[in-house]
Chains A and B, each alone.
Chain A
Amino acid sequence: MTQSDETTQGINILVCAKFIVDPNQLQADAATGKPDFKRAAYRINTFDENAIEAALQLAAAHGGKVVAMSLIKQPPPREVMLKALAMGISALYLINDEEGVAADALTITQVLSAATRTIAEREGVAAWDLLLCGEASVDDYNGQVGPRLGTALDLPVITYASKLTLDGNRLGADRAVDDQSETVEVDLPALVTVGMEINDPRMPTVLQIMGAGRKPSIELGLSELGDLDRAALAAAVPLRNVETFAPPSSRKQVIIEGDTSQEVVEELLRRLGADGEVAF
Chain B
Amino acid sequence: MAMQQGGILVCSEDQQVLGELLTIGRELATQADTGLTAVVTGKEAQAWAIDARARGADGILLVNTDASEATSAAAFSVVLYEAIQAAAPTVLLVGGTRVGAEIAARVAQRLGVACASDCMSLQIDGDGNLQVERRVYGGRFVARQVVCGLPRIATVQAKRFARAELMDGQAAAEIIEIEASLPASRVRTVSVSPRSQSQEDITKAEVLIAAGRGIKRVEDLEILEKLAAVLGGTMAGSRPLTGDVDWLPVDRRVGLSGQTVKPNLYVACGISGQIEHIVGMKGARTVVAINNDPKAPIHAESDYSLIGDLYELVPELVAACERARADGG
Contacts and interface: CB of A to CB of B under 8 A. Distances in A.
Interface of A: 21, 23-24, 26, 28, 35, 104-106, 109, 138-148, 150-152, 156-160, 162-163, 172, 174, 176-187, 190, 195-198, 232, 236-247, 249, 251-257, 261-262, 264-266, 268-269, 271-272, 275, 277-280
Given A256-B304, A272-B286, A186 B193 contact: no
A146 B73 CA distance: 13
A246 B141 CA distance: 4
Interface stretch (B30-38, B82-90, B106-114, B160-168): B106-114
Contact of B140 (A28, A109, A144, A266): A28
B67 interface: no
Of the four ranges (under 10, 10 to 19, 20 to 34, 35 or more), the interface on chain B belongs to 35 or more
A280 B328 contact: yes
B312 interface: yes
B79 to A, nearest CB: 15
B108 A266 contact: no
Contacts of A186: 186-188
Given A138-B138, A244-B142, A246-B141, A144 B105 contact: yes
Nearest to B142: A247
Per CB-CB distance, the 8 closest pairs between chain A and chain B, nearest first, are A23-B138, A156-B186, A197-B243, A197-B244, A144-B105, A148-B109, A147-B105, A252-B303
Contacts, number: 266
B116 interface: yes
25 contacts: A24-B297, A35-B137, A35-B141, A106-B108, A138-B276, A143-B118, A157-B73, A157-B187, A177-B99, A179-B250, A179-B251, A180-B195, A182-B191, A190-B186, A237-B113, A244-B143, A249-B300, A253-B302, A254-B305, A256-B304, A256-B306, A261-B313, A262-B320, A265-B313, A268-B288
A176 B240 CA distance: 13
Nearest to B329: A280
Interface stretch (B53-61, B144-152, B218-226): B144-152
Given A142-B117, A182-B193, A268-B288, 7 more contacts: A28-B141, A159-B102, A179-B195, A240-B146, A253-B303, A255-B307, A278-B321
Contact of A196 (B136, B240, B302): B240
Interface of B: 14, 73-74, 97-99, 101-102, 104-106, 108-110, 112-118, 131, 134-138, 140-149, 186-195, 231, 239-240, 243-245, 250-251, 256, 264-265, 272-276, 285-288, 294-297, 299-308, 312-313, 316-317, 319-321, 324-325, 327-329
A105 B317 contact: no
A266 B320 CA distance: 6
Contact of B102 (A35, A147, A256): A147
A251 B136 contact: no
Contact of A176 (B102, B114, B243): B243
